[in-house]
Amino acid sequence: MDSTKTRDESSIDIPQSKSTKAKTTTAIATTKAITPHPQGGWKRGVAIFDFILRICALVAALAATATMGTTDQTLPFFTQFFQFQASYDDLPTFTFFVVANAIASGYLVLSLPFSIVGIVRPHAVGVKLLLLILDTVMVAFTTAAAAAAAAIVYLAHNGNPNTNWLAICQQFNDFCQKVSGAVVASFIAAVILIFLVVLSAVALRRH
Amino acid sequence: MDSTKTRDESSIDIPQSKSTKAKTTTAIATTKAITPHPQGGWKRGVAIFDFILRICALVAALAATATMGTTDQTLPFFTQFFQFQASYDDLPTFTFFVVANAIASGYLVLSLPFSIVGIVRPHAVGVKLLLLILDTVMVAFTTAAAAAAAAIVYLAHNGNPNTNWLAICQQFNDFCQKVSGAVVASFIAAVILIFLVVLSAVALRRH
């Protein structure tokens, strides 16, 4: 039993693994809290990839928040219909976008230590499960913000003749371009979060 | 070994489980394709709950699709600005909403057999992993549709003075109420899908 635990993991070859696995399961069950688990291998690799992806998602979410939050355009002229200035808080949807992406950024920063725990202890199940559940909620959150902003940006670009909503992007061109960029960044963050959920699920499954 | 396999699962008591578990793992590894696994317990319960939740999500997604797809209001009068009729295909966002919820409904119908496989074979990991990944994608899909439609419905209800977009719900009151109902149904479907992801994750983890 002790020889199984102290053996180098690369020396366990495939035909042996069925019997050693059964033994290791018993070893894990009995000495769970005391010793680090001998085989980490691909789970550690997945955890490191998880950490890197998490930083990418953080960058995307921060970029979305910052771009949308600082977007501001003042026109050199004004008419009866259009104001001097366009900024994100003219539209409640964009305010929600900023808040949601800021929350997602905050969550991603706070999740980095847990991701490091996943690298140090590749077999810690509780941390992975917690991250998976919160990641899923954040997928919904980020996607909702991005989709709602995208619907409004589409309206700003094209208008809608049926409801008599006019396009405003002819006037506020810079504003529209920056907002579109923020929406794209937020969608990228959402896609990376989906990958994180998939990664956690793959790492969680019984082997 | 054979006695372990043929024993009724309710007769396995907790203090024995560590040693029997190690033996059963070996039994599973050797006779995976032939015999059903003896211990299912809470995993089977989770799978049945998964099936029920999946039907609830299907009902919600179908309700959202049907409500939005059949919404149609003809006004008894018309002015220079407003048309006779409002239906979902006047706004591209609502068309996306119908398409996305129809796809989600179709996916949920197709996933029901896989969920049944999860009930019959509580230890089948591949099926659960597949469902978890596709469920996560559908969470993003349904949430995007619901959020985009919600942004437009909000605009239809309240308008936006900064962009000179007028509220249309005074005129199209029935239309707005039905659309709001569809958005709520879609959000319910998204929340149930998040629960499904969490359930799959809990069932996937090593025990």
Q: Is there a single domain that holds both residue B115 and residue B125?
A: yes
In the predicted model, is pLDDT for residue A125 greater than 80? yes
Q: Which of A157, A175, A205 to mutate to test the interface with B (most CBs of B within 10 A)?
A: A205
pLDDT digits (tens, 9 = 90+) for A164-197: 888 888 878 888 899 999 999 999 999 999 999 9
Domain that holds residue A2: 1-39
Same domain, A28 and A129: no
Domain count for chain A, please give it. Answer: 2
For residue B187, the tally of other CB atoms under 10 A from its CB is 21
Mean pLDDT of chain A, nearest integer:
79
Residues B66 and B3 in one domain: no
Query: Measured between CB atoms, which of B25, B136, B147 is closest to A25?
Result: B25
Residues B110 and B71 in one domain: yes
pLDDT band at B81 (very low <50, low <70, confident <90, very high): low
Q: Which residues of B touch A155 (CB under 8 A)?
A: 152, 155, 165
Here the CATH number for the domain that contains residue B179 is 1.20.120
Cα distance between residue A139 and residue A191, in whole Å: 8
CA distances from A83 to A140, A164, A168, B161, B162 (A): 34, 18, 11, 10, 7
**Residue B81 with chain A: CB contacts under 8 Å:** 164
- pLDDT band for position B27 (cuts 50, 70, 90): very low
Contact A160 B90 (CB under 8 A): yes
**What pLDDT score does B66 carry?**
93
A170 in contact with chain B, both atoms CB, cutoff 8 A: no
Same domain, A183 and A169: yes
- B186 and B141 together in one domain: yes
pLDDT at res. A149? 94
Residue whose structure tokens are 């496989």: B117
d(CA B199, CA B136): 12
Dihedral of alpha carbons A153, A158, A163, A166, sign: positive
Q: What tens digit of pLDDT does each residue of A37-91 get?
A: 445 678 888 889 999 999 999 999 999 999 998 887 776 665 555 555 778 888 8
Under 8 Å CB pairs connecting chains A and B tally to 157
Q: Where are the alpha helices (DSSP H) in B71-205?
A: 92-120, 125-158, 173-204
Closest-CA residue in chain B for A82? B163
Q: Are B144 and B94 in contact (CB under 8 A)?
A: no
Using the beta-carbon criterion (under 8 Å), do A151 and B156 form an inter-chain contact? no
In angstroms, the CA A143 to CA B120 distance is: 34
* Chain A: closest CA distance from residue B8 (Å): 22
- In terms of pTM, does the model score above 0.90? no
Q: Which residue, chain included where needed, has tokens 């050693």?
A: A20
Which of A125, A129, A151 has the CB atom closest to B151's CB atom?
A: A151
User: Does B129 lie in the same domain as B45?
Assistant: yes
Taking the Cβ of residue B84 and every Cβ of chain A, the question of whether any pair is shorter than 8 Å is answered with no
Same domain, B3 and B93: no
- Is residue A147 domain-shared with residue A48, that is, in the same domain? yes
Q: Are residues A34 and A90 in the same domain?
A: no
| One domain, residues B26 and B98 | no
The residue-averaged pLDDT of B145-159 equals 92
pLDDT tens-place string over residues B115-126: 999 888 887 888
Whole-number Å distance between alpha carbons of B150 and B156: 10
- For residue B125, the model assigns a pLDDT of 84
On whether any CB of chain A is under 8 Å from the CB of B32, the answer is no
Q: Is residue B107 domain-shared with residue B88, that is, in the same domain? A: yes
